[in-house]
């Protein structure tokens, strides 16, 4: 019955305008940033360098925490609020099929919303020179591997982390406050943790692993690379960053499974 619950969630989400509004907001913000060069671009670094694409994917999926709390949280809370969960389970539906069907259906839309990021970057790198906000020399080649690498290995684990976290929290706590305040609280604790890590820890491995959104790991690689490396090399998924990319999504999935 997993497939039936999954498809039911898909059909339900398609009719909700919030999904399209989230997509348009992220797309517009990304398009503006890359078409005007309103980014932390290094000297001689391309606006669409693989390093900046990776950084933007991580940063935007971190800000999508608020979207995750809304999209993933409402998937289960609707059934809790209207007391329909137990009604569904009177049918030949397993608890696992119900739970993971809801999760997978909502997570598909989280991925769809996040695709606004690479689309906005790609279009922004063409729109900027066309409207005269930037010049073509400020951009490098738009290689598909730059986008795939950044989205699949950096952005997608962030989305999985926040999606599983909020879905599991709402399922366990059954409280609407998790949806409205969970994202804000995660932001608050995240930036507090970054402050203490930056000021009280000199261990690069601890800093790289402890950041659930991997921004510290990217920042360290960016600072240690020259403009040729930033413009032509992909972010290396190795060492602390590789551990980070496996650790935090894994923790959130285990929490949800429990």
pLDDT for the residue 31: 97
Residues in the chain, pLDDT under 70 = 79-92, 176, 199-201
Cβ atoms 118, 147 nearer than 8 A: yes
| DSSP character at residue 15 | T
pLDDT for the residue 166: 86
Give per-residue pLDDT as tens, 49-105: 999 999 999 999 999 998 988 888 787 777 665 565 555 555 667 777 888 888 999
Cβ atoms 241, 214 nearer than 8 A: yes
List Cβ neighbours of 151 (8 Å cut-off, separation of 6 or more).
Answer: 57, 114, 115, 117, 118
Whole-number Å distance between alpha carbons of 65 and 190: 11
């Amino acid at each position: 019955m997993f497939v039936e619950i999954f498809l039911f969630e898909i059909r339900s989400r398609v009719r909700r305008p919030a999904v399209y509004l989230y997509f348009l907001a992220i797309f517009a913000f990304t398009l503006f940033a890359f078409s005007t060069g309103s980014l932390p671009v290094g000297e001689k670094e391309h606006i669409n360098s693989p390093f900046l694409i990776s950084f933007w994917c991580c940063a935007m999926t971190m800000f999508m925490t608020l979207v995750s709390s809304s999209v993933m949280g409402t998937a289960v809370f609707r059934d809790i609020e209207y007391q329909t969960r137990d009604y569904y389970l009177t049918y030949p539906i397993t608890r696992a099929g119900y739970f993971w069907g809801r999760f997978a259906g909502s997570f598909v839309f989280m991925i769809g919303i996040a695709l606004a990021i690479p689309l906005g970057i790609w279009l922004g790198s063409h729109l900027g020179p066309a409207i005269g906000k930037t010049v073509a020399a400020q951009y490098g080649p738009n290689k598909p591997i730059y986008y795939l690498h950044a989205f699949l290995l950096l952005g997608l684990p962030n989305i999985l982390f926040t999606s599983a976290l909020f879905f599991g929290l709402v399922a366990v706590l059954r409280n609407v406050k998790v949806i409205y305040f969970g994202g804000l609280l995660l932001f608050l604790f995240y930036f507090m943790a970054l402050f203490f890590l930056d000021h009280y820890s000199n261990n690069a491995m601890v800093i790289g692993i402890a950041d659930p959104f991997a921004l510290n790991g990217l920042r360290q690689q960016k600072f240690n690379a020259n403009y040729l490396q930033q413009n032509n090399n992909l972010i290396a998924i190795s060492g602390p960053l590789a551990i980070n990319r496996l650790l935090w999504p894994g923790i959130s999935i285990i929490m949800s499974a429990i």
